[in-house]
């Protein structure tokens, strides 16, 4: 029994001497003891977000990881101007994209502003936003069909104005709308309704 007790004591003493590596310290959120700067920065960012403590972001040495951390707190507020406080273009764009997703007035701040306007035009059925969109004709075509606006179809270039008009007539099952088209298209349109 005495030998068993000594063995158990030896095992416990050995276990207490095991050092915790960076991964272990990350799991324990013992950020200051981590030797790798990348893992240490990740630790501070995750810990700041978990504790909802933005000041912990200041302990991060990497500009991009710091911006990631700060962005998580900026997104909780409703002030898009805070995006300019970030340091890296990637996170500035990420920040503006977050706000522009709900406000078309902010599309001019994002890199792909044309796509931003396009998405807002389609989600709000706003033909006015289409004129800032990347593909104006495609945008107008989709908004015209969604709103059953044959006049808007005439703003679309080329033959697409006739296919737009036909799509609306078919959706509304209204052959009278087909009569507004040139003869060949009117016959095609009427044939799709009957």
Average pLDDT, the chain: 86
Give the per-residue pLDDT at 9.
Answer: 34
Whether the predicted pLDDT of 12 surpasses 50: no
**Helix/strand/coil (H/E/C) assignment for every residue in the chain:** CHHHHHHHHHHHHHHHCCCCCHHHHHHHCCHHHCCCHHHHHHHHHHHHHHHCCHHHHHHCCCHHHHHHHHHHHHCCCCCHHHHHHCCCHHHHHHHHHHHHCCCHHHHHHCCCHHHHHHHHHHHHCCHHHHCCCCCHHHHHHHHHHHHCCHHHHCCCCCCHHHHHHHHHHHHHCCHHHHHHCCHHHHHHHHHHHC
Give the per-residue pLDDT at 28.
Answer: 63
Whether the predicted pLDDT of 8 surpasses 50: no
pLDDT single digits (tens) 47-90: 899 989 999 999 999 999 999 999 999 988 888 999 999 999 99
Give the per-residue pLDDT at 13.
Answer: 40
């Amino acid at each position: 029994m005495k030998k068993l007790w000594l063995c158990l004591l030896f095992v416990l003493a050995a276990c207490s001497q095991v050092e915790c590596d960076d991964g272990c310290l990350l799991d324990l959120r013992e950020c200051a003891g981590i030797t790798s700067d990348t893992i240490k920065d990740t630790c501070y960012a995750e810990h700041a977000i978990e504790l909802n403590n933005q000041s912990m972001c200041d302990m991060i040495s990497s500009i991009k990881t710091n911006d990631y951390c700060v962005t998580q707190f900026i997104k909780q507020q409703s002030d898009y101007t805070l995006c300019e406080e970030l340091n890296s273009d990637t996170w500035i764009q990420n920040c503006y994209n977050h706000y522009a997703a709900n406000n078309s007035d902010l599309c001019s701040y994002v890199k792909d502003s044309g796509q931003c306007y396009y998405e807002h035009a389609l989600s709000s059925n706003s033909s006015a936003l289409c004129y800032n969109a990347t593909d104006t004709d495609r945008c107008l075509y989709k908004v015209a069909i969604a709103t059953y606006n044959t006049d808007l179809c005439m703003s679309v270039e080329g033959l697409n104005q006739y296919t737009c008009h036909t799509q609306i007539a078919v959706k509304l099952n209204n052959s009278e709308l087909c009569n507004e088209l040139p003869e060949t298209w009117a016959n095609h349109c009427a044939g799709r309704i009957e």
